[in-house]
């Protein structure tokens, strides 16, 4: 028998059905968010235990974080929609299980807002109330950035005896006319070269906050700051060039010319002795050039001799000549560069982007086998990070050398059966033609397996190109090299670049030439470490 419902009953049942459906959607979204979180945590734990499993490992973590972010937003949205739908019915709304809230940092100031207590008992009306305690709910809030103008007053006095006028000297300012304080200048510099926000975008944001500054004014301040910071750049360069081993790499920099945009270069040289337990602090130096001619690295490293870890770029060959003075540079090639073309032949995502006319994706079994053998070498090498050079060398003979020799013999055997036009053959030739430079790390515990240290230093520049589009001139490229060097060195030493710039710009005038070394990021951090621990 068909049940006949009134309009109100039908609407009520429809509301219940919608509430149940919203509850199911919220549960499903919560499960998806939990699954995304577990995948992210699993990948982070694997990286913590075993190190970076491939050169795409960090990209994978970033992608998982984005996936979790989207899943979490969807779960919260569906939960709220379920609450709204359930409020009209007797259906119990789904409530997500959230981790216990963490307390906010103790250094943040607290503002107490006390809700007025009732004057009488809401039950019986009596006014005999006794306080038992209180519950405190903390809510994180932010106060928009506040601007202020500091007025420095210098009073004048006249001597009644000699009629001379006395007045305290004017305070030092980094830039002419003293319009801006060091914290503001540090913010402008870090936004431009650390966060890759051009000055015109900064100007527009400041104007929306009520501070109208012209683009020329900001440009003047940046130029003046670069001039006074250049001695620190030279000190970092001198520190880098005293290393026995350097990482070298370069990246493109679009440069605005008269009729078109040309492609300049930023050359990066990184000193990082931490992989073999060296005591020297890490540092990075950048140089700008209009092109990629080999004369530039020869000029940058003039007078330096040692081990250079880089790719097989022919422009470095000038450094390898036997007659070079003071000595030829010893080259150690990067295994990550060698692995990349092999990996691209087995990476489905890369091949899907490159295929045309819906051709079938064919994975090369030879390339796949090569990638697995190279990954085994990386896996063994990760266990040696941070050990002294002598210990690393000894352990490599037992753990790594057999894998490398086996890979070399296997590649020569496979290469003999491949056509010279085969992509796998080209990838193998890249390694086999310079095999002594690829295996140099086996004979020296200081050498790393890859050149990823230099690539990490250049990664921010590559990402920033999408924001600042191009350098305005060759001078602009040179200024960028100075600030990129300072900021990258701060990051390598776990120093906040903006805080460092603010303090350096404030103290620079009061220091003599031989005291400038105290401002280098690693010395600056050491001076503030006891203060931070005491606080």
pLDDT at 174: 74
**pLDDT for 54-102, tens place per residue?**
444 555 666 666 666 666 666 666 666 777 777 777 777 767 666 555 6
pLDDT at 176: 62
Long-range contacts of 156-164 (CB under 8 A, 24+ apart): none
With helix as H, strand as E and coil as C, how does 213-266 read?
CCHHHHHHHHHHHHHHHHHHHHHHHHHHCCCCEEEEEEEEEEEECCCCEEEEEE
- The stretch 22-31 carries a mean pLDDT of 79
Residue 319: is its pLDDT beyond 60?
yes
Contact yes or no for 266/458 (Cβ under 8 A): yes
Contact yes or no for 285/486 (Cβ under 8 A): no
Place of tokens 């359930």: 86
Confidence of residue 362 (pLDDT cuts 50, 70, 90): low
Long-range contacts of 204-208 (CB under 8 A, 24+ apart): none
Q: How far is CA 278 from CA 47, 274, 331, 373, 441, in A?
A: 24, 5, 20, 29, 16
Parallel, antiparallel or unpaired: strands 165-166 and 245-256: unpaired
Contact yes or no for 365/474 (Cβ under 8 A): no
Q: What Rg value do the Cα atoms of the chain yield, rounded?
A: 31
In the 8-state DSSP scheme, what is residue 256? E
| 172 alpha-carbon distance from chain centroid | 34
**pLDDT for 454-467, tens place per residue?**
988 888 777 767 66
3-class SS at 54?
Answer: coil
Which residues is 254 bridged to in the sheet? Answer: 263
pLDDT at 490: 95
Q: What is the pTM of this model?
A: 0.78
Contact yes or no for 331/310 (Cβ under 8 A): yes
pLDDT at 87: 75
Tell me how far apart the alpha carbons of residues 245 and 333 are, in angstroms, rounded to a whole number.
13
Tell me how far apart the alpha carbons of residues 478 and 498 are, in angstroms, rounded to a whole number.
20
pLDDT at 54: 47
pLDDT at 50: 59
Tell me how far apart the alpha carbons of residues 249 and 268 are, in angstroms, rounded to a whole number.
5
Contact yes or no for 185/173 (Cβ under 8 A): no
Residue 9: is its pLDDT beyond 60?
yes
Enter the tokens of residue 349: 């995502």
C-alpha count within 13 angstroms, C-beta hemisphere, residue 397: 8
Query: Between residues 160 and 98, which one has the greater pLDDT?
Result: 160
3-class SS at 350?
Answer: helix
pLDDT at 55: 44
Confidence of residue 377 (pLDDT cuts 50, 70, 90): very high
| 134 alpha-carbon distance from chain centroid | 43
Contact yes or no for 310/352 (Cβ under 8 A): no
Residue 40: is its pLDDT beyond 60?
yes
Tell me how far apart the alpha carbons of residues 45 and 38 are, in angstroms, rounded to a whole number.
10
Contact yes or no for 296/265 (Cβ under 8 A): yes
pLDDT at 271: 95
pLDDT at 37: 76
The dihedrals phi and psi of 157, each to the nearest 5 degrees, come to -130, 145
Angle between helices 182-193 and 497-507 (to 10 degrees): 140
- The stretch 304-315 carries a mean pLDDT of 91
With helix as H, strand as E and coil as C, how does 108-169 read?
CCCCCCCCCCCCCCCCCCCCCCCCCCCCCCCCCCCCCCCCCCCCCCCCCEECCCCCCEECCC
Confidence of residue 359 (pLDDT cuts 50, 70, 90): low
Parallel, antiparallel or unpaired: strands 330-333 and 307-310: parallel
**pLDDT for 231-284, tens place per residue?**
999 999 999 999 999 999 988 887 766 666 777 888 999 999 999 989 999 999
Q: What is the overall mean pLDDT for the chain?
A: 83
The residue ranges of every structural domain in the chain are 7-86, 155-292+451-535, 335-449
Is there a cis peptide before residue 442, judged by omega within 30 degrees of 0?
A: no
In the 8-state DSSP scheme, what is residue 259? S
DSSP 388-457: -HHHHHHHHHHHTHHHHHHHHHHHHHHHTTS-TT-HHHHHHHHHHTTHHHHSGGGG-TT--S--HHHHHH
Cα angle: 29, vertex 32, 34; to 5 degrees: 110
Query: Between residues 71 and 171, which one has the greater pLDDT?
Result: 171
Tell me how far apart the alpha carbons of residues 379 and 21 are, in angstroms, rounded to a whole number.
48
Sign of CA dihedral 274, 275, 276, 282: negative
Residue 232, Cβ neighbours under 10 Å: how many?
20
Parallel, antiparallel or unpaired: strands 307-310 and 165-166: unpaired
Residue 3: is its pLDDT beyond 60?
yes
Confidence of residue 53 (pLDDT cuts 50, 70, 90): very low
């Amino acid at each position: 028998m068909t049940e006949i419902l009134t309009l109100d009953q039908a609407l009520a049942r429809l509301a219940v059905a919608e509430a149940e459906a919203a509850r199911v959607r919220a549960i499903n979204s919560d499960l998806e968010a939990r699954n995304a979180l577990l995948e992210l945590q699993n990948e982070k734990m694997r990286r913590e235990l075993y190190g970076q499993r491939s050169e795409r490992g960090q990209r994978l973590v970033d992608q998982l974080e984005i996936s979790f972010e989207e899943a979490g937003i969807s779960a919260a949205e569906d939960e709220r929609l379920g609450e709204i739908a359930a409020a009209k019915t007797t259906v119990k709304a789904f409530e997500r299980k959230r981790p216990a809230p963490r307390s906010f940092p103790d250094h943040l100031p607290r503002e107490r807002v006390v809700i007025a207590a009732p004057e009488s008992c809401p039950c019986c009306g009596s006014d005999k109330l006794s306080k038992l305690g209180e519950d405190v709910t903390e809510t994180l809030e932010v106060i928009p950035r506040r601007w202020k103008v500091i007025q420095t007053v210098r009073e004048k006095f006249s001597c009644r005896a000699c009629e001379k006028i006395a007045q305290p000297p004017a305070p030092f300012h980094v830039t002419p006319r003293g319009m801006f304080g060091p914290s503001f200048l540090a913010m402008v510099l870090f936004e431009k070269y650390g966060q890759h926000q051009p000055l015109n975008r900064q100007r527009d944001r400041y104007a929306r906050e009520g501070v109208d500054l012209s683009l020329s004014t900001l440009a003047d301040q940046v130029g003046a700051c670069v001039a006074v910071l250049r001695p620190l750049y030279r000190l970092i360069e001198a520190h880098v060039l005293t290393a026995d081993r350097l990482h070298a790499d370069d990246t493109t920099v679009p440069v605005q010319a008269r009729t078109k945009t040309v492609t300049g270069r930023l050359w990066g040289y990184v000193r990082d002795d931490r992989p073999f337990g060296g005591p020297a602090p890490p540092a990075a130096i950048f140089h700008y050039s209009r092109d990629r001619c080999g004369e530039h690295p020869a000029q940058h490293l003039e007078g330096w001799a040692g081990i250079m870890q880089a790719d097989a770029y022919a422009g470095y060959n000038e450094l390898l000549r036997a007659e070079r003075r003071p000595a030829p540079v010893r080259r150690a090639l990067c295994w990550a560069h060698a692995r990349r073309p092999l990996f691209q032949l087995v990476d489905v995502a890369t091949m899907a982007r490159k295929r045309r006319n819906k051709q079938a994706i064919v994975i090369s079994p030879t390339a796949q086998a090569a990638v697995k053998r190279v990954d085994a070498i990386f896996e063994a090498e990760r266990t040696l990070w941070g050990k002294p050079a002598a210990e690393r060398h000894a352990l490599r003979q037992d753990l790594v050398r057999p894998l490398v020799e086996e890979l070399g013999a296997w590649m020569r055997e496979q290469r003999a059966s491949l056509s010279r036009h085969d992509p796998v053959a080209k990838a193998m030739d890249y390694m086999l033609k310079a095999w002594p430079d690829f295996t140099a790390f086996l004979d020296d515990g200081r050498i790393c397996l890859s050149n990823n240290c230099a690539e990490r230093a250049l990664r921010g520049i590559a990402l920033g190109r999408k924001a600042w589009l191009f350098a305005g001139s060759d001078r602009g490229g040179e200024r960028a090299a100075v600030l990129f060097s300072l900021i990258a060195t701060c990051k390598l030493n776990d120093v906040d670049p903006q805080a460092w710039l603010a303090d350096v710009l404030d103290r620079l005038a009061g220091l003599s030439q031989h005291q400038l070394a105290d401002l280098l990021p690693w010395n600056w951090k050491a001076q503030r470490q006891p203060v931070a621990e005491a606080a």
